[in-house]
A and B are shown apart, each in its own frame.
Chain A
Amino acid sequence: MRKKVHNGLIYFLESIILLILIIIIWCIASETGYINEILLPSPRMIGQTFIKKLIDKSLLIEIGISIGRVLKGYMCAVIAGICLGVIIGLSEHVHHMTKIIIQILKPIPPIAWIPLVILWMGIGETSKVFLIFLGGFFVILLNVIDGIRYIDPKIVEVSSAVETPKMKYIFQLVIPAAMPNIFTGLRVALGTSWSCVVAAELVAASSGVGYMISNARNFGQMDVVIIGMISIGVVGKLMDEILRLLEKKILAWNF
C-alpha cells in the first residue's frame, strides 16, 4: 500500500517535470528564433496575455459562461440518458426494438447536427444546450443500457426468488449494480459535452471560450487562441477529476 502511494507521487512529479521540460524547450526555441512567433507565439507572450486576461477577468467570465452551458446540456443528458437507459436496459423487447435507431444516431457527431439545430432553434442558448445534450446523451444511454444488461443473473435470481417488488428491484438492485458502468458513461459524457460547447460556440455565439477562440482568430491573436485551447483542456481535466472523486465516494464498495 505504502509503495503504491510512493509510486503515484513519483509518476505525478515526473509528469510535471515533463510538462515543464516541454515549455522550456518551447521558450528556448522561441527566444532563439527557431519558431516564427506569428505561427506559434512564445510562452512569454502567452503568459503576458494570460495575466492581462486574468486581471480584467475576461477569461474567467468566458469560461464561466461555457461551463454554465455545459452544465445545463449535460444535466439534461444525464437525466434523459439514465431514465431511457433504465427502460431500455430492463426490457429485452424494447432493447431490440431501439437498437438499430440508437446505433445509427450514435455515430453522428453533434457538429453535423449544427445546421439543423440552428434552423430549428436559432442561434440562441437553446441550440447550444441542445448540442451539448447530444454530445453527452448517447454515451450515457449506451453505458446505462450495457450496465443493466450485464448485471450478473445470479444476483438477479436472489431478488426474483423472493418476489421483490419492481420499484425496489430497480432502485436497490438494478441501478446500484449498473452504477460502475453508469459512472463510466457520466465521465466520458462530460468530456464529450465539454468538447461540444466549444464547437457550438465556434459557429454561433457572442460569448464563451469557443467564441473567444474564433474571435481571436479573426484578429490573428494566436496567443489568445492558445490560451482558449489550454483553458478548455484544463477545465476538462478538472471536471473529470471532480467526477472521479465523486465516483470514489459513491462507489466506495467497488474500489
Chain B
Amino acid sequence: MDYQNEYILVKDLRKIYARKKHHDLLVFDSISFAVEKGEFICIVGGSGCGKSTLLRVMSGLDSDYEGDIIIDGEKVKKPDKRRGFVYQEHRLFPWMTVEKNVRFVINDGNEEENKKKVKEILELVGLKGFESAYPKELSGGMAQRVNIARALVNKPEILFLDEPFGALDALTRIQLQKELLVIRKKQKNTMLLVTHDIEEAVFLADRIIVLGNRPAEILDIVNVNLSETRERSSKEFQEIRKNIYKYFEYKEH
C-alpha cells in the first residue's frame, strides 16, 4: 500500500503502557490506517480496548509511542492548535464563565478578534445567551457543547473527539450528534471520534474502524455508504450496525 499522499497516516503504531508492579501492558500493536482530508472516522471498540489511547496518541497528547503518525507530512510529537480535542469529560474551569473558558485556549491574536471568534463559535454550538453562565449552571449537554466550542475555536483542521457524548442521556446524545454533523458541514473539519456506541458510529461516520480487544488490533474498517441524512430505522442503517455488532457478540470458547 502506498500511503505517501495520505492526509493522516498511521503506520505500525504500537503503544506499551509501562506499569510499576505488573508486567508492561501492550495497549495496541501494528495499527495502520489512513484518513483522507475531510473524512469522518469513528473508532469503535469495547471499553478498555485502548481506543481512547489511540486517539490521544494521534492528537499528540500522548507522545510515548512506537511507529508513525504522520499528519499532513509531519510526524506528530506534541499537541498542536491545528488539532482540536474534545475530552470525554467536559473539563471546564468552574471559576470561569462559558465565554472565558473558550477564550482561555486562544493564545494569539488581538483581544477584539478573539472576542469575535468566541462569539461565533458559541453561536455555532448553540450557546448564544449563555456566555456569562458558569459551568455549574449548565446541564451535561450544554457543558459538552462548551467543550466542543473550546476545541473548535482555534479553527483546527482536525477534530478529535473522545467519547464526547458518552455521559449524556439518549435524547441529548442524538441531538448533539445531529449538531455535530451540522458543525462539520460548516467547518469542514476532518473528524475522528471514539465511541463504544455502534449506532452513533453508523450515524456519524464515513468509515468505521472496528478495534478488537487487548492488545487492540483493527478487526475491520467499514465503509458507511449511506446518504447524508441517515435514518436510524432504515434497513441499510440496521444492516451496517448488525455487521459491526457481530464483532462484539459474546463467543463461547
Residues of A near any B CB (own CB < 8 A): 154-155, 157-165, 168, 172-173, 176-177, 179, 251, 253-254
Q: Which 7 residue pairs spanning A and B have beta carbons closest together? A: A161-B79, A176-B95, A162-B105, A253-B95, A253-B94, A158-B91, A253-B134
Main secondary structure of the interface of B (DSSP, over half): loop
Task: Tell whether, in the assembled complex, residue B93 and residue A160 are in contact, meaning their CB atoms are under 8 Å apart.
Answer: no
- Contact, CB under 8 Å: A162 / B81: yes
Distance A162 CA – B93 CA, assembled complex (angstroms): 15
Asked if B107 lies at the interface with its beta carbon under 8 angstroms from chain A, I say: yes
In the assembled complex, B65 has its CB within 8 A of some CB on chain A: no
Q: Are the C-beta atoms of B81 and A154 separated by less than 8 Å?
A: no
What's the nearest-Cβ distance from chain A to residue B145, in Å? 16
Report how many A-B pairs have Cβ atoms within 8 Å.
51
Distance from B147 Cβ to chain A, minimum over Cβ atoms (Å): 9
**Which residue of B is nearest A157, CB measured?**
B61
Decide if A160 touches B79 in the complex (CB within 8 Å). Answer: yes
Does chain A have a CB within 8 A of B28? no
**Contact between chains at B95 and A155 (CB < 8 Å):** no
Give the residues in chain A near B95, CB-CB below 8 Å.
176-177, 179, 251, 253-254
For the complex formed, measure the closest distance between the CB of A22 and the CB atoms of chain B, giving whole angstroms.
41
Pick the residue among B79, B104, B105, B136 that contacts A253 (CB under 8 A). B136
Query: In the docked arrangement, what's the CA distance between A159 and B85, Å?
Result: 12
The answer to whether A162 and B107 touch across the interface, beta carbons within 8 angstroms, is: yes
Name the residue on A nearest B137 (C-beta): A253
Interface contacts beyond A158-B104, A253-B135: sample of 13 additional A-B pairs, CB < 8 Å, sorted by A: A154-B89, A155-B93, A157-B91, A158-B87, A158-B93, A158-B105, A159-B104, A164-B104, A168-B107, A172-B104, A173-B93, A173-B104, A176-B93
Q: Check A165/B107 contact, CB under 8 A, given A155-B93, A253-B94.
A: yes
Please give, as numbers and ranges, the residues of chain A lying within 8 Å of B107 by CB-CB distance. Answer: 162-165, 168
How far is it, in angstroms, between the C-alpha of A165 and the C-alpha of B104 when the chains are bound? 11
B190 interface residue (CB < 8 Å to A): no
Pair B94/A254 contact, Cβ less than 8 Å: yes
A161 pairs with B89, CB closer than 8 A:
no
B91: A residues at CB distance < 8 A:
154-155, 157-158
Q: How far is the CA of A162 from the CA of B102 in the complex (A)?
A: 12
A selection of 7 A-B contacts at a CB cut-off of 8 Å is A157-B61, A158-B87, A158-B150, A161-B79, A162-B107, A162-B154, A253-B94
Q: For the complex formed, measure the closest distance between the CB of A254 and the CB atoms of chain B, giving whole angstroms.
A: 7
